[in-house]
Amino acid sequence: MSTARAEILAGIRKALRRGPLAAAEQAALEDRIRRHDRHIIPERVNRSTGELVELFLAKAGEVATTLEEVDDNAGVAGAIAGYLARENLPARLVAAPAVREFGVDWDTVPTLEVRTGSANRDDGVAVTVGMAGIAETGTLLLVSGADTPTSLNFVPPHGIVLLRRGDIVGSWEDGWDLVRRSPLPRVVNFVTGPSRTGDIEQKIQIGVHGPVRLHVILVG
């Protein structure tokens, strides 16, 4: 063990006027971690599932995320193609492997050029899948994994996220409970709107290094 480590820990103990924690105290800390109790959850998320969807839409809109709703998987490919057309974008995109869970049939839009994988420097549009939508702040919960490359969330200037209506939850903690169901992924991104900066005379500019536009397609 490095001397720096030993010295820092010894320094903290000296400052706290005690030695290493006794076994019972150590167990209490580990128990606190195991319980991972919540603190105060904002009252605003105490509402019915339907109202949570309303709140999510409203809050996401406030942070400049654009939204559209489709009834079922069958509508997804068309919605994507429609978005590209509306935004005057080339009919080309990179998609997360997870998009197949939405049964998207790219053949229904033959003009669309689709690559599956992580993002390259020149990709203009990414389509990925959100694990949850958090109503509290209109936030998307995106996790890394073999089927959901993290680079898709940040590199292309246009980000499209597919989200199931049933995956909208209330608080950040509710979202984290979903993450806790499986081993913790390498990256968990909470994304609240397209990237922004106030670094130039504090005038807010939407679209800096991350996506310039963020579009959510709510399915179901």
Binding residues for other proteins, rule CB under 8 A, total: 73
Q: Which of 99, 104, 172, 219 binds other proteins (CB under 8 A)?
A: 172
Q: Which of residues 137-166 bind other proteins (CB under 8 A)?
A: 137, 139, 144-146, 149-151, 153-155
**Residue whose CB is less far from other proteins, 167 or 174:** 174
Residues between 6 and 35 with contacts to other proteins, criterion CB under 8 A: 7-9, 11-13, 15-17, 20-21, 25-26, 29-30, 32-33
State the number of CA atoms in the 13 A half-sphere of 96 facing the CB. Answer: 28
The β-bridge relationship of strands 66-70 and 132-134 is unpaired
Contact map string, positions 190 to 219, toward other proteins, x by CB under 8 A: xxxxxxxxxxxxxx-x-xxxxx--------
Of 65 and 219, the one with the shorter C-beta distance to other proteins is 65
Bridge partners for 134 per DSSP: 139, 169
> Does residue 69 interact with other proteins by CB under 8 A?
no
Q: Residues 84-114, buried b or exposed e (16+ Cβ, 10 A)?
A: beeeeeeeebbbbbbbeebebebeebeebeb
Task: State whether the Cα torsion 205-152-155-213 is positive or negative.
Answer: negative
Say whether residue 187 binds other proteins (CB under 8 A). yes
CA atoms within 13 A on the CB side of 190: 13
Q: Which of residues 85-144 bind other proteins (CB under 8 A)?
A: 117-119, 121, 137, 139, 144
Rounded to the nearest whole angstrom, what is the least distance from the CB of residue 187 to other proteins in the complex?
5
Minimum CB distance to other proteins, residue 138 (Å): 8
Run of H or E including 12: helix 3-15
Between 85 and 208, CB nearer to other proteins: 208
- Structure token pair of residue 185: 């992924």
